[in-house]
Amino acid sequence: MKILNCPLNGPRNISEFVWGGEMKPMPDPATATDAQWTDFLFLEDNTAGEITEWWLHAPTNYWFIARRNTLTDEIIETMTYDAYLARQKANASGEAEPAAKPTTGGTETGATSA
């Protein structure tokens, strides 16, 4: 039996979860065109490889994010939606892994070689 690690409930049997599909940004309902809705509602990247996707823990009705490889069925990591957003923000501002930044001493180079 496959185990999925829910950020709220911990490791649970995967049959307790519902797959929500690949993560895609929702267009702004106030301005979206028909073509944008078609893209959001129906069209899929259907990636063979690493994807970021939605999962629902059905008994607790809790939605979260997972990264999974669709060729090997390996779950790489799971995280809350907030953690996902924080990482997106950090990536956008050019910092790859905010948590890995040295808090005291050391230069950039020192941190990478550590």
Chain contacts with another protein (rule: CB under 8 A): 1-2, 14-15, 17-19, 21-22, 34-35, 38-39, 41-46, 48, 70-73
- Minimum Å distance from CB 45 to another protein? 7
Q: Which of residues 28 and 34 has its CB atom nearest to another protein in the complex?
A: 34
- Minimum Å distance from CB 95 to another protein? 31
What gap in Å lies between CA 57 and CA 17, rounded to an integer?
5
Q: Which of residues 44 and 97 has its CB atom nearest to another protein in the complex?
A: 44
The token pair at 85 is 């957003």
Q: Which of residues 35 and 100 has its CB atom nearest to another protein in the complex?
A: 35
8: β partners: none
Q: State the Cα torsion 85-86-87-90 to the nearest 10°.
A: 120
- Minimum Å distance from CB 24 to another protein? 11
Q: Which of residues 1 and 96 has its CB atom nearest to another protein in the complex?
A: 1
- Minimum Å distance from CB 52 to another protein? 13
The token pair at 48 is 């063979």
Residue 43 C-alpha from the chain's centroid: 19
Burial class of residue 74 in the structure, from the number of CB atoms within 10 Å of its CB (0-12 exposed, 13-18 middle, 19+ buried): exposed
